[in-house]
Structure 1
Amino acid sequence: MIKNIYDLKSYISADFQSSGKRLSLRNCITNPVLRFTLVMRLLEYCLNTRKSIVIYIPLLLWFRRLSYKLGFSLGPNVFGPGVAIIHHGLLIINPATRIGKNCRIHMGVHIGGSGKFVDPSEVDHHCPRIGDNVYIGPGAKIYGPVTIGSNCTIGANSVVNKSFEDPGLLIAGIPARQLVASRRI
């Protein structure tokens, strides 16, 4: 979570580095996904440090406008540092979801809560928790109170509805299961 200006700088630097781009005015103008990531981080900074409403409201409007334009539906403070959203297109993430650092996420991904009606104070317990260095392939769906360990890979079009807490797993299928690579003799 971004708590001060130094956190903001490190998150932005990690995001651009994870995307394989450098922070420059040209990249922010020509790449709408990087512009969205930058605005998202500025909004998180303003929200978490309780900056003036004069600064917060225009950033919120800009964030919502870019979200609508790019097909993203997500809230602030979902991602850790180093997020790489690969393409614009449909991306839906429940605002109560928490995703660790260095996540690489493709278009068509849906990450949502359990689907049952719960008390608003318990929403956090019904949304996914995803570890660090996770790759989420195009079209993957992750639902419910699941936990995904660090360094995992979630295959394209997988439907994850149970937890995979061990690190470094390859998860794929409908419903998702752990895939084991064959050993060569």
Structure 2
Amino acid sequence: MAKNPLTRMRDAGKAVARTMAEDVDAALARDPAGGSRLEMALASPGLHAVWSHRVTHAMWRRGGRWKLPARLGSQVTRAVTGVEIHPGATIGRRFFIDHGMGVVIGETSEVGDDCMLYNGVNLGGRTLAKVKRHPTLGDGVTVGAGARILGPVVVGNGAQVGANAVVVKDVPATGVAVGVPAKVRVPQAPAVDPFTDPALYI
């Protein structure tokens, strides 16, 4: 039996509230300067950018006349937060952008669950062709400040990319990529908290 419109709206509202609460908790877990849940919800541009993207992405997926408003919404978010996420990008759960300013996430980017980006990160393309041209990040990936991950490369689950690294090749799960161009090593065992800035490995 189909649900009536009011029930559907109520269920959708509950799902949105759960997702937002999950995002806030993930941000608090990764930001020692976060303070309270209320402070994080009100004062984190990274969270605001993610929440806005969840709306514009839903619009983008509807296609047709919804695509232009989605693009305009993403540009307003860019102006307000300093974070540019194309509405076509796919973002997983509990995603956090620390500080946020200067982050760019391209149209065909895919970001898994429990990922974290620092400021100045670019998930960019390397071709003008309308193909899959942006990176795919697995679950639990951390990308340090100023890093560039370019092209349709895959960064595996639990991998870390160091600050200012330039990644143009795949990074295996649990790998650590640092340098320009990035060199990859796979530690035998995790030596630090997975949300610590990977620049520590440099």
Q: Following TM superposition, by how much is the alpha carbon of 1:44 offset from its aligned partner in structure 2, in angstroms?
A: 2.8
Taking the aligned partners of 1:70 and 1:45, their CA distance within structure 2 comes to: 20
Taking the aligned partners of 1:81 and 1:181, their CA distance within structure 2 comes to: 26
- The answer to whether residue 180 in structure 2 is matched with residue 167 in structure 1 is no
TM norm structure 2 = 0.70
Q: 1:72 aligns with which of 77, 83, 92?
A: 83
Q: 2:21 aligns with which of 4, 8, 13?
A: 13
Q: Following TM superposition, by how much is the alpha carbon of 1:30 offset from its aligned partner in structure 2, in angstroms?
A: 3.2
Higher relative contact order (CA 8 A, sep 6+): 1
Q: 8 Å contact 2:110–2:137 — kept in the other structure? A: yes
Q: 2:123 aligns with which of 105, 108, 111?
A: 111
Taking the aligned partners of 1:95 and 1:39, their CA distance within structure 2 comes to: 15
Q: Secondary structure at the match of 1:19?
A: helix
TM norm structure 1 = 0.76
Aligned to 2:151: 144
Q: Deviations for 1:79-136, whole angstroms, at most 9, x for unmatched residues? A: 111110000311112111111111100111111112x332x2xx21x32111110000
| Cα distance change, pair 172–74 in 1 and its aligned pair in 2 (3 A) | same
Taking the aligned partners of 2:151 and 2:60, their CA distance within structure 1 comes to: 26
Q: Secondary structure at the match of 1:82?
A: coil
Stretch deviating more after TM superposition (147-156 or 172-181)? 172-181
| Cα distance change, pair 169–129 in 1 and its aligned pair in 2 (3 A) | same
Q: 8 Å contact 1:72–1:92 — kept in the other structure? A: yes
Q: Following TM superposition, by how much is the alpha carbon of 1:8 offset from its aligned partner in structure 2, in angstroms?
A: 3.9
Aligned to 2:182: 176
Taking the aligned partners of 1:167 and 1:69, their CA distance within structure 2 comes to: 34
| Cα distance change, pair 110–60 in 1 and its aligned pair in 2 (3 A) | closer
| Cα distance change, pair 7–49 in 1 and its aligned pair in 2 (3 A) | farther
Taking the aligned partners of 2:154 and 2:41, their CA distance within structure 1 comes to: 33
Taking the aligned partners of 1:63 and 1:23, their CA distance within structure 2 comes to: 25
Q: Deviations for 1:49-104, whole angstroms, at most 9, x for unmatched residues? A: 67x96xx94x7655422212322222124311111000031111211111111110
| Cα distance change, pair 71–133 in 1 and its aligned pair in 2 (3 A) | same
Identity of aligned residues (%): 24
Structure 1 unaligned residues grouped into runs of 5+: none
Q: Deviations for 1:149-181, whole angstroms, at most 9, x for unmatched residues? A: 0000111111101112x3111111111111355
| Cα distance change, pair 107–64 in 1 and its aligned pair in 2 (3 A) | same
Q: 1:30 aligns with which of 43, 52, 58?
A: 43
